[in-house]
Structure 1
Amino acid sequence: MAHLEGSYPHEETPLGKIVIAPEVVATIAGIAAREVEGVADLSGGFVGDITERIGRRRNLTKGVQVEVGQEEAAVDLSLVVEYGYALPQVAGQVQDAVRRAIETMTGLRVVEVNVHIVDLRFPSPARPQEDEESEPPRVR
Protein backbone atom coordinates (compact mmCIF):
# COMPACT_ATOMS: atom_id res chain seq x y z
CA MET A 1 0.00 0.00 0.00
CA ALA A 2 2.95 2.33 -0.35
CA HIS A 3 1.29 4.00 -3.35
CA LEU A 4 -1.26 5.56 -0.97
CA GLU A 5 1.37 7.54 0.90
CA GLY A 6 1.25 11.22 0.14
CA SER A 7 -2.08 11.02 -1.69
CA TYR A 8 -4.38 10.17 1.23
CA PRO A 9 -4.36 11.43 4.78
CA HIS A 10 -3.03 8.79 7.09
CA GLU A 11 -1.98 8.33 10.67
CA GLU A 12 0.73 6.05 11.94
CA THR A 13 -0.28 3.91 14.92
CA PRO A 14 1.63 1.17 16.74
CA LEU A 15 -0.38 -1.38 14.73
CA GLY A 16 0.01 0.27 11.34
CA LYS A 17 -1.52 3.03 9.23
CA ILE A 18 -5.04 4.43 9.25
CA VAL A 19 -5.89 5.77 5.79
CA ILE A 20 -8.99 7.82 4.91
CA ALA A 21 -9.84 7.91 1.20
CA PRO A 22 -11.17 11.16 -0.31
CA GLU A 23 -14.34 9.28 -1.34
CA VAL A 24 -15.09 8.74 2.35
CA VAL A 25 -14.76 12.46 3.05
CA ALA A 26 -17.06 13.20 0.08
CA THR A 27 -19.65 10.72 1.36
CA ILE A 28 -19.60 12.30 4.83
CA ALA A 29 -20.08 15.75 3.26
CA GLY A 30 -22.95 14.56 1.05
CA ILE A 31 -24.83 12.93 3.91
CA ALA A 32 -24.34 15.92 6.23
CA ALA A 33 -25.56 18.36 3.56
CA ARG A 34 -28.68 16.32 2.80
CA GLU A 35 -29.64 16.29 6.50
CA VAL A 36 -30.04 20.10 6.56
CA GLU A 37 -33.65 21.24 6.38
CA GLY A 38 -34.36 22.93 3.06
CA VAL A 39 -31.85 20.90 1.05
CA ALA A 40 -33.83 18.99 -1.56
CA ASP A 41 -30.83 17.21 -3.06
CA LEU A 42 -27.31 17.66 -4.35
CA SER A 43 -26.72 18.08 -8.06
CA GLY A 44 -24.04 16.32 -10.02
CA GLY A 45 -24.90 18.22 -13.17
CA PHE A 46 -27.10 17.04 -16.00
CA VAL A 47 -25.19 13.82 -16.77
CA GLY A 48 -24.75 12.92 -13.09
CA ASP A 49 -28.43 13.43 -12.36
CA ILE A 50 -29.49 11.28 -15.35
CA THR A 51 -27.03 8.55 -14.36
CA GLU A 52 -28.46 8.42 -10.84
CA ARG A 53 -32.03 8.18 -12.14
CA ILE A 54 -31.06 5.23 -14.34
CA GLY A 55 -29.08 3.50 -11.59
CA ARG A 56 -30.67 1.73 -8.68
CA ARG A 57 -28.39 3.04 -5.96
CA ARG A 58 -28.26 6.60 -4.70
CA ASN A 59 -24.91 8.26 -5.26
CA LEU A 60 -24.07 9.91 -1.92
CA THR A 61 -21.15 11.84 -3.42
CA LYS A 62 -23.14 13.36 -6.28
CA GLY A 63 -22.62 17.12 -6.27
CA VAL A 64 -19.65 16.89 -3.90
CA GLN A 65 -16.02 17.59 -4.74
CA VAL A 66 -13.28 17.38 -2.13
CA GLU A 67 -9.60 18.12 -1.92
CA VAL A 68 -7.95 16.23 0.89
CA GLY A 69 -4.45 16.79 2.23
CA GLN A 70 -2.63 15.21 5.14
CA GLU A 71 -4.33 17.44 7.73
CA GLU A 72 -6.89 19.55 5.89
CA ALA A 73 -9.86 19.24 3.56
CA ALA A 74 -11.76 21.61 1.27
CA VAL A 75 -15.26 20.87 -0.01
CA ASP A 76 -17.41 22.16 -2.88
CA LEU A 77 -21.13 21.30 -2.88
CA SER A 78 -23.77 21.88 -5.57
CA LEU A 79 -27.17 22.10 -3.88
CA VAL A 80 -30.78 21.97 -4.95
CA VAL A 81 -32.81 23.87 -2.34
CA GLU A 82 -36.53 23.56 -1.68
CA TYR A 83 -38.48 26.62 -2.77
CA GLY A 84 -39.47 28.89 0.11
CA TYR A 85 -36.34 28.52 2.25
CA ALA A 86 -33.92 31.40 2.84
CA LEU A 87 -31.00 30.48 0.58
CA PRO A 88 -28.20 32.14 2.61
CA GLN A 89 -29.50 30.50 5.80
CA VAL A 90 -29.63 27.03 4.23
CA ALA A 91 -26.15 27.49 2.74
CA GLY A 92 -24.73 28.57 6.12
CA GLN A 93 -26.30 25.60 7.88
CA VAL A 94 -24.86 23.28 5.23
CA GLN A 95 -21.39 24.78 5.72
CA ASP A 96 -21.59 24.26 9.48
CA ALA A 97 -23.00 20.72 9.24
CA VAL A 98 -20.42 19.57 6.67
CA ARG A 99 -17.48 21.09 8.56
CA ARG A 100 -18.62 19.58 11.86
CA ALA A 101 -19.24 16.11 10.38
CA ILE A 102 -15.89 15.89 8.56
CA GLU A 103 -13.86 17.21 11.48
CA THR A 104 -15.62 14.94 13.98
CA MET A 105 -15.44 11.79 11.91
CA THR A 106 -12.01 12.14 10.29
CA GLY A 107 -9.97 14.52 12.44
CA LEU A 108 -9.18 16.60 9.34
CA ARG A 109 -9.42 20.38 9.65
CA VAL A 110 -11.90 21.77 7.12
CA VAL A 111 -10.55 24.97 5.59
CA GLU A 112 -13.36 25.64 3.08
CA VAL A 113 -16.93 24.56 2.42
CA ASN A 114 -18.07 26.29 -0.77
CA VAL A 115 -21.81 26.03 -1.43
CA HIS A 116 -23.19 26.49 -4.95
CA ILE A 117 -26.99 26.68 -5.12
CA VAL A 118 -27.68 25.45 -8.63
CA ASP A 119 -31.44 24.91 -8.61
CA LEU A 120 -34.69 25.19 -6.67
CA ARG A 121 -37.16 22.38 -6.19
CA PHE A 122 -40.77 23.44 -6.34
CA PRO A 123 -43.54 21.47 -4.65
CA SER A 124 -45.42 19.13 -6.97
CA PRO A 125 -48.76 20.57 -7.96
CA ALA A 126 -51.59 18.78 -6.25
CA ARG A 127 -53.79 16.81 -8.58
CA PRO A 128 -57.37 17.99 -8.53
CA GLN A 129 -59.57 15.34 -7.02
CA GLU A 130 -62.25 14.08 -9.32
CA ASP A 131 -65.67 14.67 -7.89
CA GLU A 132 -68.38 12.18 -8.57
CA GLU A 133 -70.50 15.10 -9.68
CA SER A 134 -67.97 16.33 -12.22
CA GLU A 135 -69.05 16.81 -15.77
CA PRO A 136 -68.83 13.76 -17.98
CA PRO A 137 -66.24 13.90 -20.76
CA ARG A 138 -67.41 15.67 -23.89
CA VAL A 139 -66.01 13.04 -26.19
CA ARG A 140 -66.38 9.31 -25.88
Structure 2
Amino acid sequence: MENIKDESTLGVVRISDEVVSVIAGIAAEEIQGIVEIPTGVGNNISQILKGKKTTTGKSVKVTLGEDAATIELTVAVEYGINIPEVISLVQENVKKTVEAMTGLNVEAVNVNVQNIYVPKKEQNLEKEV
Protein backbone atom coordinates (compact mmCIF):
# COMPACT_ATOMS: atom_id res chain seq x y z
CA MET A 1 0.00 0.00 0.00
CA GLU A 2 1.42 3.32 -1.09
CA ASN A 3 0.88 6.46 0.92
CA ILE A 4 0.81 10.08 -0.12
CA LYS A 5 2.69 12.19 2.43
CA ASP A 6 2.23 15.84 3.26
CA GLU A 7 4.96 17.11 5.52
CA SER A 8 4.08 20.26 7.40
CA THR A 9 5.32 21.91 10.54
CA LEU A 10 2.78 19.89 12.53
CA GLY A 11 3.75 16.46 11.21
CA VAL A 12 3.16 14.06 8.34
CA VAL A 13 -0.21 13.34 6.72
CA ARG A 14 -0.50 10.06 4.83
CA ILE A 15 -3.37 9.24 2.46
CA SER A 16 -3.45 5.60 1.41
CA ASP A 17 -4.32 4.41 -2.08
CA GLU A 18 -7.29 2.59 -0.54
CA VAL A 19 -8.76 5.89 0.67
CA VAL A 20 -8.30 7.45 -2.77
CA SER A 21 -10.00 4.38 -4.27
CA VAL A 22 -13.02 4.73 -1.98
CA ILE A 23 -13.33 8.45 -2.74
CA ALA A 24 -13.18 7.72 -6.48
CA GLY A 25 -15.80 4.97 -6.21
CA ILE A 26 -18.24 7.15 -4.29
CA ALA A 27 -17.70 10.08 -6.68
CA ALA A 28 -18.42 7.84 -9.69
CA GLU A 29 -21.64 6.51 -8.15
CA GLU A 30 -22.89 10.08 -7.58
CA ILE A 31 -23.43 10.47 -11.34
CA GLN A 32 -26.90 9.66 -12.67
CA GLY A 33 -26.69 6.79 -15.14
CA ILE A 34 -24.06 4.85 -13.20
CA VAL A 35 -25.83 1.82 -11.81
CA GLU A 36 -23.00 0.26 -9.86
CA ILE A 37 -19.32 -0.25 -9.63
CA PRO A 38 -19.07 -4.03 -10.12
CA THR A 39 -16.97 -6.61 -8.27
CA GLY A 40 -17.86 -5.59 -4.78
CA VAL A 41 -16.72 -1.98 -4.57
CA GLY A 42 -20.23 -0.83 -3.66
CA ASN A 43 -20.28 -3.36 -0.86
CA ASN A 44 -16.83 -2.23 0.23
CA ILE A 45 -17.95 1.39 0.28
CA SER A 46 -21.02 0.60 2.36
CA GLN A 47 -18.92 -1.50 4.72
CA ILE A 48 -16.42 1.33 5.14
CA LEU A 49 -19.24 3.82 5.76
CA LYS A 50 -20.57 1.46 8.43
CA GLY A 51 -17.14 1.44 10.06
CA LYS A 52 -16.14 -2.08 9.04
CA LYS A 53 -12.64 -2.76 7.71
CA THR A 54 -12.55 -4.03 4.15
CA THR A 55 -10.23 -4.19 1.17
CA THR A 56 -10.51 -2.18 -1.99
CA GLY A 57 -12.57 -3.71 -4.79
CA LYS A 58 -10.84 -4.64 -8.00
CA SER A 59 -12.96 -2.29 -10.11
CA VAL A 60 -11.27 0.86 -8.76
CA LYS A 61 -7.52 0.86 -9.25
CA VAL A 62 -5.39 3.77 -8.09
CA THR A 63 -1.78 4.34 -9.08
CA LEU A 64 -0.13 6.95 -6.88
CA GLY A 65 3.01 8.86 -7.71
CA GLU A 66 4.78 11.51 -5.65
CA ASP A 67 1.95 14.03 -5.86
CA ALA A 68 -0.29 12.66 -8.63
CA ALA A 69 -2.75 9.83 -9.16
CA THR A 70 -4.09 7.82 -12.07
CA ILE A 71 -7.46 6.20 -11.44
CA GLU A 72 -9.03 3.33 -13.38
CA LEU A 73 -12.71 2.53 -12.81
CA THR A 74 -14.96 -0.22 -14.11
CA VAL A 75 -18.67 0.63 -14.09
CA ALA A 76 -22.12 -0.55 -15.16
CA VAL A 77 -24.50 1.96 -16.76
CA GLU A 78 -28.25 2.30 -17.28
CA TYR A 79 -29.73 1.29 -20.63
CA GLY A 80 -30.68 4.29 -22.78
CA ILE A 81 -28.15 6.82 -21.49
CA ASN A 82 -25.60 8.60 -23.63
CA ILE A 83 -22.57 6.59 -22.48
CA PRO A 84 -19.80 9.01 -23.58
CA GLU A 85 -21.62 11.94 -21.94
CA VAL A 86 -22.18 10.11 -18.63
CA ILE A 87 -18.62 8.76 -18.54
CA SER A 88 -17.27 12.27 -19.15
CA LEU A 89 -19.29 13.44 -16.11
CA VAL A 90 -17.86 10.53 -14.09
CA GLN A 91 -14.31 11.49 -15.07
CA GLU A 92 -14.87 15.14 -14.15
CA ASN A 93 -16.53 14.33 -10.81
CA VAL A 94 -13.91 11.76 -9.79
CA LYS A 95 -11.04 14.13 -10.68
CA LYS A 96 -12.64 17.11 -8.91
CA THR A 97 -13.59 15.14 -5.78
CA VAL A 98 -10.27 13.32 -5.35
CA GLU A 99 -8.30 16.53 -5.89
CA ALA A 100 -10.50 18.49 -3.45
CA MET A 101 -10.37 15.86 -0.71
CA THR A 102 -6.72 14.79 -1.00
CA GLY A 103 -4.78 17.63 -2.60
CA LEU A 104 -3.47 15.18 -5.20
CA ASN A 105 -3.20 16.07 -8.87
CA VAL A 106 -5.29 13.51 -10.78
CA GLU A 107 -3.51 12.97 -14.10
CA ALA A 108 -6.10 10.60 -15.61
CA VAL A 109 -9.42 8.94 -14.84
CA ASN A 110 -9.82 5.94 -17.14
CA VAL A 111 -13.30 4.38 -17.18
CA ASN A 112 -14.22 0.95 -18.53
CA VAL A 113 -17.93 0.29 -19.11
CA GLN A 114 -18.29 -3.39 -18.26
CA ASN A 115 -22.05 -3.88 -18.17
CA ILE A 116 -25.39 -2.28 -19.00
CA TYR A 117 -28.44 -2.46 -16.77
CA VAL A 118 -31.92 -2.81 -18.26
CA PRO A 119 -34.69 -1.98 -15.77
CA LYS A 120 -37.24 -4.78 -15.24
CA LYS A 121 -40.07 -2.81 -16.92
CA GLU A 122 -38.08 -2.58 -20.15
CA GLN A 123 -37.02 -6.22 -19.87
CA ASN A 124 -40.69 -7.26 -19.64
CA LEU A 125 -41.61 -5.08 -22.64
CA GLU A 126 -38.87 -6.70 -24.70
CA LYS A 127 -40.24 -10.17 -23.90
CA GLU A 128 -43.77 -9.17 -25.02
CA VAL A 129 -42.61 -7.90 -28.43
Q: Is the shorter-chain TM-score for this pair beyond 0.5, marking a shared fold?
A: yes
* TM-score, length basis structure 1: 0.74
CA distance in structure 2 between the aligned counterparts of 1:11 and 1:115, rounded to whole angstroms = 28
Give the strand-richer structure, 1 or 2.
2
Alignment counterpart, residue 66 of structure 1, candidates 62, 65, 83: 62
Residues 89-108 of structure 1 mapped to structure 2, 5 A cutoff? 89-108=85-104
1:110 pairs with 2:103: no
Q: Deviations over 1:50-104 (max 9, x none)?
A: xx8xxxxx21353201001220000000010011110001110000000000110
1:8 pairs with 2:3: yes
Alignment counterpart, residue 20 of structure 2, candidates 14, 20, 25: 25
Aligned 8 A contact 1:79 1:119 in 2: yes
**Number of equivalenced pairs:** 112
Give the helix-richer structure, 1 or 2.
2
- Residue 114 of structure 1 and its aligned partner are, at CA, apart by 0.3
The gaps in structure 2 that reach 5 residues or longer are: 46-55, 125-129
Q: Deviations over 1:99-135 (max 9, x none)?
A: 0001100010000100100000110138x9xxxxxxx
The gaps in structure 1 that reach 5 residues or longer are: 53-57, 129-140
Aligned 8 A contact 1:95 1:115 in 2: yes
Aligned 8 A contact 1:8 1:69 in 2: no
CA distance in structure 2 between the aligned counterparts of 1:27 and 1:115, rounded to whole angstroms = 15
Residues 123-134 of structure 1 mapped to structure 2, 5 A cutoff? 123-125=119-121
Larger Rg: 1
Query: In the alignment, what sits opposite 2:72?
Result: 76
* TM-score, length basis structure 2: 0.80
CA distance in structure 2 between the aligned counterparts of 1:40 and 1:13, rounded to whole angstroms = 40
Q: Deviations over 1:9-44 (max 9, x none)?
A: 101111210000000000000000000010000122
What one-letter code is carried by the residue in structure 2 that aligns with 1:91?
A: I
